[in-house]
Structure 1
Amino acid sequence: MRLKSFVKYMLPLVLFGLLVFLYGFTSSRNASKKIAKIEVEFEAGDNHFLTHQMVNKLLIQNQKSVVNQPKSMLDLHGLEQSVLTNPYVEKASVFASINGVLKTVIKQREPIARLIEKSTSYYVDRDGVKIPLSQNFSARVPLVSGVESATEIKEITQLVNLILSDNFLKKEVTGIQKNEAGEYVFNVRSGDYKIEFGNFINADVKFKKLKAFYNKAYADKTIDNYQTINVKYHNQVVCTK
């Protein structure tokens, strides 16, 4: 009876000890496994600005490539931070697989407008973050001038986001200028006329008036008769021929 009781109580302990040993052995073996290759995956498909080679150059640890380094020696957080230093990267995730592959998943910043200043030019994304121009790709986004300060960049970002939320307007508006009076003027794709939008106040109402005018002008086939379309004033659209 004593032997059976001894076996009854010792068997779980032996099995638990065996599991701990196997886990430790597997973990140690996995940690000593070396990185065999690097894989880079871009979210949302297009990777216009970054190339796989550019990302590989960011995956450097102790001034050398991570390939052939043991997994236990990797600083994954540090590698993620290195990738995030690239101005084209919005989010990054770096992890090592069981089979020795270091995988990097990247979401690139998406430009919504190109700002032109006196001596420089750059893109901004939907959050107003500046993105440098690239030799690899030129984004087809509205050109914006007359905007320089952080407050102005924040406002133009909100304005462009409103334009991009409308399927018609995001194709129609090709450029935006902010004049000395602090008012916005739009260049459009469908003609040589300008849209005088005014300041950023009541932007939603102004866009609704503009869309209603477009519907009527296209139906009447009179859109080409105008030089300016002014939506600055309350409850009306003023046009000049």
Structure 2
Amino acid sequence: MLRKFGYSWQFFKRSLWLILPVAGIGMAESRLGSQRCNNLVITIEGDSGAYFLNQTDVLMLLTENGGDPLMGTRLDEVSLNDLENRVRKNRLIKKCQVYRDLKGNIVVDVEQERPFARWINTSANGEWRNTDGYYINEDGVFFPLSDSFSARTLIVSGAFFRDSGKLKTEKGKLLMDMIRFLNEDPFWKAQVAELDADKYGDIHLLTIMGDQRIEFGAAEGFASKFNKLRLFYERVLSKDWSRYSKISIKFQDQIVCE
């Protein structure tokens, strides 16, 4: 009997270690739920220097332009999931997480979309028709331009970018890899002003120094093409940047200049 009582007492003590924390959490949640919203704490993450949205923009999304104010509202009456969905409706926002803290604040963590390239509508001869267009993120997803901020990124144009589905094909993935290369390589990032891809994926590049139009061809083998072009720049064009207006490296084993 004494052994049984000892086992029961040990089991009771162990149960307390489990029950008390759970009960404490439940009481804390109950008190937190009865609190009223003291403040909205909004943080916006994204690329350094990109300001597509500010805290006021996010506040307007949370409150539906002020029609559903949150300050002073009981926290247990606030649907955090609904708030997240409101914010995510803005396509300049990639991720949003909304939660409550122990001080009675509603905390909103927002991550902006990161522009990988910017598509500009052009005419048949390459002239910009207007400033309308969209950004493309690194996953090939289109998102709109911002009224308040214009990101400095690679300009792309041409019919290939009018269909987002093409960026998911093998040819599109290679093109996105090439754009990533242009964004990451210091020399070509400074040299290439615009990338144009026609409906077949054939690429033309417009350069800054020398103002050349480069007939690049398909994106396949882009790394070796750029290496070959870099050598041509260093050995030939560096002596006279305006010597040629058009350069073709469409074919792997030759460079044709005009």
Task: Answer yes or no: same fold by TM over 0.5.
Answer: yes
CA contact (8 A) 2:142 2:164 kept: no
Work out whether 1:79 is the aligned partner of 2:83.
yes
**Cα distance in 2, alignment partners of residues 105 and 116 from structure 1:** 31
Listed as ranges, the matches of 1:55-134 within 5 Å are: 55-60=58-63, 64-117=68-121, 120-134=132-146
2:207 matched residue in structure 1: 188
2:125 matched residue in structure 1: none
1:150 matched residue in structure 2: 164
CA contact (8 A) 2:204 2:214 kept: yes
**Cα distance in 1, alignment partners of residues 109 and 208 from structure 2:** 37
- Over 3 Å counting, the alpha-carbon distance change for 1:72 and 1:86 in structure 2 is same
- Over 3 Å counting, the alpha-carbon distance change for 1:231 and 1:28 in structure 2 is same
**Cα distance in 2, alignment partners of residues 194 and 19 from structure 1:** 69
The SS at the match of 2:205 is strand
Q: Which amino acid aligns with 1:190?
A: M
CA contact (8 A) 2:154 2:183 kept: no
Q: Which amino acid aligns with 1:59?
A: L
The SS at the match of 1:81 is helix
**How many residues are aligned here?**
234
- Over 3 Å counting, the alpha-carbon distance change for 1:234 and 1:47 in structure 2 is closer
CA contact (8 A) 1:226 1:239 kept: yes
The SS at the match of 1:176 is strand
Q: CA deviation at 1:12?
A: 4.0
Q: CA deviation at 1:173?
A: 1.0
Q: CA deviation at 1:205?
A: 2.0
Q: CA deviation at 1:42?
A: 1.7
TM-score of the aligned structures, taking structure 2 as reference length = 0.77
Per-residue Cα deviation, 1:137-192 (whole angstroms, up to 9, x for no partner): 11222332222223444525343222112121112111122347752111111122
Work out whether 1:201 is the aligned partner of 2:220.
yes
Q: CA deviation at 1:136?
A: 0.2
TM-score of the aligned structures, taking structure 1 as reference length = 0.82
Q: CA deviation at 1:19?
A: 5.9
Deviates more, 1:85-94 or 1:155-164: 155-164
CA contact (8 A) 1:112 1:141 kept: yes
**Cα distance in 2, alignment partners of residues 234 and 78 from structure 1:** 54
Q: CA RMSD in A?
A: 3.0
1:170 matched residue in structure 2: 189
**Cα distance in 2, alignment partners of residues 125 and 18 from structure 1:** 48
**Cα distance in 2, alignment partners of residues 13 and 202 from structure 1:** 66
Q: CA deviation at 1:109?
A: 0.9
Q: CA deviation at 1:15?
A: 6.2
1:226 matched residue in structure 2: 244
